[in-house]
Structure 1
Amino acid sequence: MLIETITSRSNPLVKRFIAAREGRDRQTMFIEGIRLVEEAVSSAIKLEALAYSPRLPETARGAALLSELQHLPCRAARLTEDLMTYISDVETAPGIIALGRRPVVALPDVGSHHPALFVLADGLQSPGNLGALIRTAEATAATGLLATLGTADPFQPKALRAAAGSAFRLPIVTGESAAVWCQQLRRQGIRIVAADQRGDTPYDAFDWQPPTAIWLGSEGHGLASANGNAQTQCDARLTIPMHGRVESLNVAVAGALLLYEARRQRMQGQSGRAQDAP
């Protein structure tokens, strides 16, 4: 890895970082901070370029990361602190940024996942909520996340930070409408369920053992604004009990409750089958 020193905002590499940070380069991810760059490397994300400030090697962790990055075949640059601050997406620049190639995946074949568990993110506008869902989906061994047209970019900087590395590993597919995703899921024998305060089935009374997709709508209006025929598309509308005057939950919290209930039932089912085995 050859390292150059850059001091000008007009440098083409600086402009590439800015374009990725602003979402104008849809082929790359703007990866910022020691932890996220570590996660990208350990997740085998292809890094096309990286840049760091003079203070990165001043800590043991930063020095270790820089040493590891020396072996990667990518462009590298040492930036001034002022230039790193100019490029950074956060208030206090962490000292290292990288351009990573976005993962390209198709809808996973559920034949290799028993049983499949998807999150269908439909019209979610908050990248923080989306990133949190991605992180929870990986934590609960979900098959993947499908993001509809109109949903926040799951690979934008804020979503990547909220996902804390999970976006590099969980299969994430984008670019289709909810109707298309529902068709493809049903074609593979996957039920579609949604959290709905007017639903008729408590989420913990639902049978999560069969292949299932959890359809989550926009933070402000739920599925009603994202898709007019959501009620007819769903196999079940699940309720989450709430005390007092609370009307709804944050979409990332609601998604986490459903994902972990599915995980709980499936782990319990596996334990029961193991005990029944001769």
Structure 2
Amino acid sequence: MSSVPPASDPLAPLLDLPGVREAADRARDALSAVHRHPANLRGWDKTATEASWRAGRSSAAIDGGSVELRRDGDFDDPILSGAMRVAQALDGDALEQITGVFRRAPAQAFARLHVLAAADLVGDADELGRPSDRPGVAERLGLLGQLVTGSTAVPAPVLAAVVHGELLGLEAFETANGIVARAASRLVCTASGLDPHNLGVPEVTWMRRVDEYRALSEQFSQGSADGVGGWVVLCCEALEAGAAEARSIADAARSGG
């Protein structure tokens, strides 16, 4: 991701919407602080794995999946199963690999996330990873890819919210778009250095505030200033609360819990 502001930044006006800049700063500071937690200085691999499990479960629940989680890797619910495959792809060595793909070719990363998320949900395997051919889908995915690869210099929490909201509203794939969108938001956070080890768990907040999450994502898609600003602020608040969730994981790891 480029750190050099482009000549004309398409997302720059978002920073003037009420509360956006402040919410983004709070999210950044909270995630930065949790990376300095003693348990995360050397043992972040363990806390990140716990975070990925919580994220996968919460993401599945948002889309109506089961909350029954088994650590043997065998999940009866197809939504939960897909969400946990995605969670595993965003953890450990696999995270570095998919983050690298995301930085270079975001569309390939979106497709990979869909393959993982929807493997048990589609009848035709040829649909996996293949965006819809509806008019405008390819163009909007292309614009998202440009944002990820450097056509904006807005703070990472804002970019994560935009990528998340766009993928939800676009419904580029036949199914599992929510899980793909939330995972893509996470990839913005890792690729930008906002949350390089994927310690935060914003999905918990989106799950707890699911009615607001759905309403604001719809308003974001409609494009009004209030709707866009409200969605970005919600996503930033979830990142901030996700850092608090990460702190609780780190505290438990340090105390041996």
Asked if Structure 1 and Structure 2 have the same fold, meaning a TM-score greater than 0.5 normalized by the shorter chain, the answer is: no
Larger relative contact order, structure 1 or 2 (CA cutoff 8 Å, min sep 6): 2
> Which structure's residues are more often strand, by fraction?
1
TM-score w.r.t. length of structure 2: 0.26
TM-score w.r.t. length of structure 1: 0.25
